[in-house]
Chains A and B, each alone.
Chain A
């Protein structure tokens, strides 16, 4: 096994995965207050009104495409009658639309961020790094798709990249699958992996706050004043609890006021 292949296609992805998972847990436990999308809509809305929905709906389509392409084995789709031709056509066309939408949205957002002085001043270093990596991953991915799928004969990544990804997730990594993948696909994978590594430390954490519970919760929320609740207020860290008279733990059910 080539040590560089091992480094790039086994060690690095696993390191990124570990940082991704542990980083999110750590940040959720210790920085709930910083866990926000940090919207800049109040600064400027004319460009954001177009850029933000374009980017977000585009990237959601991209995400869906990646789930189907990477996580669902080829044979399963074929079982349902989705042949290579159909898949290729669908993936290329839908993928191109999604990519165009996402990139156009991102272009508007970056233009806005750079040229609107209010938004620029609210941009952190981490934002800039995140934009760079996100842009790189999107550009490499789009370039690979255009070069191989649209203009070229078509590259069957479901025979190489997809099994490699599934192998990583199932703890059976096979770096040899990736060693002969076209260069732009490799670049795409590497830049995306690096983005995953930084993810928990950027504003991208807001992805995991997609408020799906809003569909089912009652409109008006009541909370008791002395209710220590689930998300939100943290318990004091171990060793930092307030001192209390022994046996003074009160009956919380009994009195509400």
Chain B
């Protein structure tokens, strides 16, 4: 047993309103640079829909993830080592930029500086790749809220596997949002496909990162990732991906997408797992068994044997405690309501989802039935095959049982808690029907519905005493003459690969902790010894108005 910790995320899809705040804040923080205009480390898709990049779930085409070969061994779907190097001069499975969308800006200048004319000026869209006028035909969320989906939704690879009846009916039936980030998989295909060995999984927290210095731009990670969450920066010629905001995570803070999520639907915490068991679990024969296989890889953080093994691996006590308090562990292993996205890709993804009950509730409500009644809900889950089968296509390789079980638990929570909130008697038969107790349901309600900040994010800090030399593994932009050279003062300087706004303040553990105390309060003034002149009434000389007098040294003349 080799105990490793994985920083993981769970998103409660029932609460997602599709506002894209996570996407926007993520973009502002990470991808507002040239070369990654088309890149969204976090994106929100409307399901059913084709996704971003278009039809990324169609692995027959893109060849992402792993497959199990006839001898029962795991193999990258895009081919083995020899084939990879043989096709290195032209990656046969690489999506081109048009599969995402051609990035553009607007000719805003025309609005203020257009010459006198009879028509009012317009800001035409200009391609950020060619600088020419362009027609906008697609973007990252073009089919948002099923917009235009009568034309595009038939291309949804999950929908395509379902019956004709479903394809015709789905629009009247259900819709939900699916926010996606990098899955930080336990068995990452991108890492396995990188010819340079520049991609790696961090031993401490399992975050999958690209070493920008080691990347040689072979683009194999982009095509090997079945979720298409590694992107090619077309200006620097390097791969980039979601970092799980590791500078924040290391400080015990949630990622920017979680922090700014208005629905407060994201959960962050540790999962302990047995790294030695990952390969066997990912190689299991039937796709439908992968969910249970992955659950089997996770370790019980309360098990004394696991704790002893973790300590033997050098895990600190506060990390073990964080693993015990982890909302992820509760939702995946205790309540078993969270499910992985596309386990059939065999990468063992670690961003899991609580499937949305709302499509079911919506249908009940439109038929004037009680959408909070347990029996009605249970019956509807059994009857409403379309959303359940579709959800199973996303979260359990087509097996409807885990999705149903999860939805029934959510339904049970809904009606059990309604009785409590209305002051009625508790109906203990409801939790029993889903194999839970009333206490468990109430705890789950606290976690999912009340969702306190400190319950959602249980993130142990990276250990400062061991992280002294971390320094983000050195900023790779900070080269001689590079865009980041000289630190913040050179933030406006253009490097050889274009402008890089905002780089690079070194967001390291130690200098952050130096500036800010434990509770986040400032422990030190930013300008020591100064006074705020706005508070000065003009009388007298308050201390700090002038810099302290330097006593004259020896008999050198005093300063003027």
Q: Which of A55, A121, A225, A242: most chain B CB closer than 10 A?
A: A225
Interface size class of A (residues with CB under 8 A): 35 or more
CA distance A224 to B469 in the complex (A): 12
Question: Which chain B residues (173-196) contact chain A, with CB distance < 8 Å?
Answer: 187-188, 191-192, 194-196
Interface of A is mostly: loop
**B204 with A257: CB separation less than 8 A:** yes
Smallest CB separation, B105 vs chain A (Å) = 14
**Minimal Cβ-Cβ distance residue in A for B483:** A33
**B203 with A224: CB separation less than 8 A:** yes
Residue interface bits B194-205, CB-to-A below 8 A is 1, else 0: 111111111111
**A211 with B216: CB separation less than 8 A:** yes
Question: Which chain B residues (464-499) contact chain A, with CB distance < 8 Å?
Answer: 465-471, 473-474, 476-477, 479-480, 482, 496-497
Residue interface bits A237-249, CB-to-B below 8 A is 1, else 0: 0000010100010
**A225 with B462: CB separation less than 8 A:** yes
Q: Does A49 contact B (CB under 8 A)?
A: yes
A33-B212, A38-B217 given; A53·B89 CB < 8 A: yes
Of A172-180, A192-200, A227-235, the one contacting chain B is A227-235
CA distance A197 to B449 in the complex (A): 66
Q: Does A52 contact B (CB under 8 A)?
A: yes
**B315 with A39: CB separation less than 8 A:** no
CA distance A56 to B204 in the complex (A): 40
Q: Which residues of B contact A32 (CB under 8 A)?
A: 213-214, 476, 479
| Neighbour of B462 across the interface among A52, A55, A233, A257, CB < 8 A | A257
Of B17-25, B230-238, B399-407, B533-541, the one contacting chain A is B230-238
Interface of B is mostly: loop
**A52 with B89: CB separation less than 8 A:** yes
Of A3-11, A40-48, A156-164, the one contacting chain B is A40-48
The A/B interface has a contact count, at CB < 8 Å, of: 192
Smallest CB separation, A57 vs chain B (Å) = 7
Q: Does B160 contact A (CB under 8 A)?
A: no
Residue interface bits A191-223, CB-to-B below 8 A is 1, else 0: 000000000000000100101111101011111
| Neighbour of B198 across the interface among A48, A118, A232, A257, CB < 8 A | A232
**B214 with A42: CB separation less than 8 A:** no
**B237 with A256: CB separation less than 8 A:** no
Q: Which of A118, A232, A250, A257: most chain B CB closer than 10 A?
A: A257
Given A34-B479, A36-B238, A223-B202, output 15 extra A-B contacts at Cβ < 8 Å: A37-B216, A37-B218, A41-B94, A45-B94, A45-B96, A117-B129, A214-B197, A220-B191, A225-B205, A229-B473, A233-B211, A252-B466, A254-B314, A255-B465, A256-B466
A residues bordering B, Cβ < 8 Å?
A: 30-45, 48-49, 52-53, 55-57, 117-118, 121-122, 206, 209, 211-215, 217, 219-226, 228-229, 231-234, 236, 242, 244, 248, 250, 252, 254-257
